[in-house]
């Protein structure tokens, strides 16, 4: 027995030593990769910038030295919108870059991010350099970006999706009924549809009206811009979608949606001719990830002066406490706004929000910090793909708000959600509860038994008070009468274009436009300030640990495949504590 224990102990020690040495080796490789990535890439003459947008696109990229290396991958493999736009600005003036080879089949981004990328490509074209796009298949988002290209090649066996946009919502009432779980809903606003997945099997008529409205707004904007880029008529583009005209690549060519039907090698032959490169020689491609390291794209880019504009990026669901790259924690954002407010070098603040909302309490805490900041320096709000409900709450106190035409915003409404699990525990698990109380409502609020009518009324009144506070503050921030604000509130969702027309938004544009507005408000001239992005990017060692462990959402997706979205829905339920300000639970626009 002693001998056996000795071998077991030796094995455990050996495994620990092996793990430790392996970690040190991994750390060394990571340090080497990180060091090599810090070295500036030399761009050869007659080069082409190769951009593949068929990846997740986030507000900012994460520094991951193991990006793309086997299983050690994470969000560091995503494209950063800020970094992509900076690379396009650099390439526009780079005499060694002759043009762009664009792959844009199915970008992992929302419509507002797609708009920013497309506008950046249009700006690049002012250099008179070429943009050639190639795809085997393309959805509407991918084509919308590619439509600015000088040449659009579609594989002869490929496909172009051109049938309009639709929004699909998922409903769980049937599941809850089968489980014996009863949702208790308290809400304000005819259009506050975030709770519908738990009490309905389909969309209500008010919800259908609002979704139809903003889907058509996004689609109409896309059609107008595509028509301008391709020299086509909007009514023709609508007809092609209604009649499913584009069935094969030849149809896309005939209708002039694309310029060529051909293989990748055929497009490369065109590029060689454009560059005067012999057939047997390779084209000097430089990938986006390498090119980002060829020019200065640091967080403090933008000028040479000591003045700063702080760009605070907030992405994800809103909750109390600390946040991360995929969630907005009120503690984290408040700390960043406060640091920018107290920093004398920071002359203005841009609050960049990409969120469909979350905790009402956390949203109000961040709103308060915005109010304190704007007393001492300009604060400009910038909306990304979503800035709705709690996301709008964060921004409504800013001096000015900038949104893309296809941003999803509004949803000024409130709901509280509890689940009565008494039947589920009793009938499904055989678990029952009993209680004694010192006071009549000591068990309020309850989830293991039915609440009394008085308790439900109390929760409804509390929800209404928060809605009144939300709309009052929004009206004050937007300089509108409260009645006028409430007429466009009620939880209704709007696009950026619609929001500007009704006073929820001041200006249409992207992050760059918000930064320019902040500079003007602070009376800063171009070149007289630098940009300071916050929160800071994680240092290498933190990135290494997160890369080694893997991204939680990536793990769920890898393990569950098509079931992953439903698990994510259930995980999101855990964050719905207290009164919520959210968009409809999950909207998929495609």
pLDDT tens figures, 401-446: 999 999 999 999 888 888 999 999 999 899 999 999 999 999 998 8
Identify whether 218 is part of a domain. Answer: no
Residue from 90, 101, 174, 158 nearest 133 by CA: 101
pLDDT exceeds 60 at position 564 = no
Q: What pLDDT band is residue 61 in, cutting at 50, 70 and 90? A: confident
Identify whether 442 is part of a domain. Answer: no
Phi, psi for residue 262 in degrees, rounded to 5:
-175, 170
As a whole number, mean pLDDT of residues 340-347 equals 97
Could you tell me if 278 and 370 lie in one domain? no
Could you tell me if 104 and 50 lie in one domain? yes
Q: What is the mean pLDDT of the chain?
A: 86
Identify whether 461 is part of a domain. Answer: no
> Partners of 388 in the beta sheet?
410
Determine the pLDDT at residue 416. 86
pLDDT exceeds 50 at position 110 = yes
Q: What pLDDT band is residue 247 in, cutting at 50, 70 and 90? A: very high
Q: Which residues contact 494 (CB under 8 A, 6 or more apart)?
A: 213, 214, 217, 408, 409, 410, 488, 502, 504
Q: Which of 389, 416, 497, 547 is catalytic?
A: 389
Whole-prediction pTM: 0.85
- Among residues 291, 317, 350, which one ends one of the domains? 291
Give the rounded percent of residues in the chain with a pLDDT score beyond 70: 80
Could you tell me if 516 and 408 lie in one domain? yes
pLDDT exceeds 50 at position 71 = no
Could you tell me if 114 and 252 lie in one domain? yes
Could you tell me if 262 and 406 lie in one domain? no
Determine the pLDDT at residue 372. 97
8-state DSSP, 424: I
Identify whether 138 is part of a domain. Answer: yes
Could you tell me if 106 and 254 lie in one domain? yes
Higher-confidence position of 192 and 234:
234
As a whole number, mean pLDDT of residues 566-576 equals 52
Could you tell me if 250 and 373 lie in one domain? no
Identify whether 186 is part of a domain. Answer: no
User: Which residues in 76-85 are b (16+ Cβ under 10 Å) and which e?
Assistant: bbbbbbbbbb
Could you tell me if 579 and 519 lie in one domain? yes
User: Which residues in 466-483 are b (16+ Cβ under 10 Å) and which e?
Assistant: bbeebbebbbebbebeee
Q: Which of 192, 377, 400, 500 is catalytic?
A: 192
Beta pairing class for 327-329 and 151-160: unpaired
Could you tell me if 251 and 354 lie in one domain? no
Determine the pLDDT at residue 550. 47
Which of 101-115, 457-471, 547-561 has the weakest average pLDDT? Answer: 547-561
The question of whether 192 is a catalytic residue gets the answer: yes
Q: Which residues contact 98 (CB under 8 A, 6 or more apart)?
A: 46, 47, 48, 129, 130, 274, 275
Could you tell me if 120 and 48 lie in one domain? yes
Give the total number of structural domains in the chain.
2
Domain with 533, as residue range(s), is 307-413+470-584
Could you tell me if 558 and 474 lie in one domain? yes
The question of whether 389 is a catalytic residue gets the answer: yes
Q: What pLDDT band is residue 328 in, cutting at 50, 70 and 90? A: very high
Q: What pLDDT band is residue 191 in, cutting at 50, 70 and 90? A: confident
As a whole number, mean pLDDT of residues 157-167 equals 95
- Compute CA distances 577 → 302, 308, 424, 452, 580, whole Å: 41, 37, 20, 20, 8
pLDDT exceeds 60 at position 24 = no
Identify whether 195 is part of a domain. Answer: no
As a whole number, mean pLDDT of residues 56-60 equals 93
Identify whether 61 is part of a domain. Answer: yes
Which of 60-64, 250-254, 510-514, 543-547 has the weakest average pLDDT? Answer: 543-547
pLDDT exceeds 90 at position 510 = yes
Q: Residue 575 sits in a domain of what CATH number? A: 3.90.226.10
Which residue reads 């544009």 in tokens? 509
Determine the pLDDT at residue 241. 97
Could you tell me if 377 and 478 lie in one domain? yes
Dihedral over Cα of 51, 53, 57, 59: its sign: positive
pLDDT exceeds 60 at position 554 = no
Determine the pLDDT at residue 472. 95
Determine the pLDDT at residue 578. 58
């Amino acid at each position: 027995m002693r001998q056996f224990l000795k071998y077991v102990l030796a094995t455990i020690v050996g495994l620990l030593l092996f793990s430790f040495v392996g970690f040190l080796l991994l750390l060394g490789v990571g340090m080497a990769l990180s060091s090599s990535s810090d070295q500036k890439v030399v761009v050869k003459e007659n080069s082409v910038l190769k951009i593949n947008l068929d990846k997740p696109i986030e507000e900012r990229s994460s520094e991951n030295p193991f990006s793309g290396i086997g299983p050690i991958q994470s969000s560091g493999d995503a494209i950063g919108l800020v970094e992509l736009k900076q690379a396009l600005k650099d390439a526009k003036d780079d005499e060694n870059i002759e043009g762009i080879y664009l792959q844009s089949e199915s970008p992992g981004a929302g419509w507002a991010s797609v708009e920013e990328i497309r506008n950046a490509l249009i700006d690049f074209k002012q250099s008179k350099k070429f943009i050639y796009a190639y795809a085997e298949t393309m959805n509407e988002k991918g084509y919308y970006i590619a439509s600015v290209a000088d040449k659009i090649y579609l594989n002869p066996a490929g496909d172009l999706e051109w049938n309009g946009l639709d929004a699909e919502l998922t409903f769980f009432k049937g599941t809850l009924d089968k489980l014996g779980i009863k949702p208790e809903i308290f809400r304000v606003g005819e259009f506050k549809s975030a709770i519908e997945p738990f009490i309905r099997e389909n969309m209500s008529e008010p919800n259908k009206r609002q979704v139809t409205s903003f889907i058509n707004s996004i689609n109409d904007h896309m059609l107008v811009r595509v028509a301008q880029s391709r020299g086509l008529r909007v009514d023709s583009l609508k007809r092609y979608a209604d009649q499913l005209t584009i069935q094969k690549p030849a149809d896309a060519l005939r209708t002039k949606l694309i310029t060529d039907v051909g293989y990748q090698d055929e497009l490369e032959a065109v590029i060689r001719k454009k560059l005067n490169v012999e057939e047997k020689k390779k084209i000097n491609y430089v990938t986006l990830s390498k090119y980002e390291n060829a020019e200065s794209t640091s967080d403090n880019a933008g000028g040479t002066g000591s003045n700063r504009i702080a760009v605070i990026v907030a992405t994800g669901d809103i909750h109390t406490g600390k946040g991360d790259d995929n969630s907005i924690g009120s503690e984290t954002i408040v700390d960043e706004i406060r640091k920018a407010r107290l920093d004398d070098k920071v002359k203005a603040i841009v609050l960049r929000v990409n969120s469909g909302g979350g905790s009402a309490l956390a949203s109000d805490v961040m709103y308060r910090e915005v109010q304190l900041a704007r007393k001492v320096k300009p604060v400009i709000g910038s909306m990304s793909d979503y800035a709705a409900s709690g996301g709008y709450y964060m921004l409504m106190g800013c001096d000015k708000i900038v949104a893309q035409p296809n941003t999803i915003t509004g949803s000024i409404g409130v709901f509280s959600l509890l689940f009565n699990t008494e039947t589920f525990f009793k009938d499904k698990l055989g678990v029952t509860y009993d209680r004694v109380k010192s006071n009549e409502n000591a068990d309020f609020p309850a989830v293991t038994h039915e609440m009394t009518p008085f308790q439900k009324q109390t929760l409804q009144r509390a929800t209404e008070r928060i809605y009144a506070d939300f709309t009052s503050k929004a009206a004050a921030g937007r300089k509108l009468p409260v009645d006028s604000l409430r007429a466009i509130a009620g939880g209704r969702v709007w696009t950026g274009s619609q929001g500007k027309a009704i006073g929820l938004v001041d200006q249409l544009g992207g992050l760059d436009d918000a930064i320019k507005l902040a500079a003007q408000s602070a009376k800063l001239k171009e070149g007289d300030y630098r940009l300071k992005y916050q929160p800071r990017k994680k240092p290498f060692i933190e990135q290494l640990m997160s890369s080694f462990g893997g991204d939680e959402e990536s793990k769920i997706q890898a393990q569950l495949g098509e079931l992953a979205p439903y698990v994510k829905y259930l995980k999101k339920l855990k964050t719905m504590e207290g009164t919520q300000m959210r968009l409809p639970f999950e909207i998929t626009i495609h």
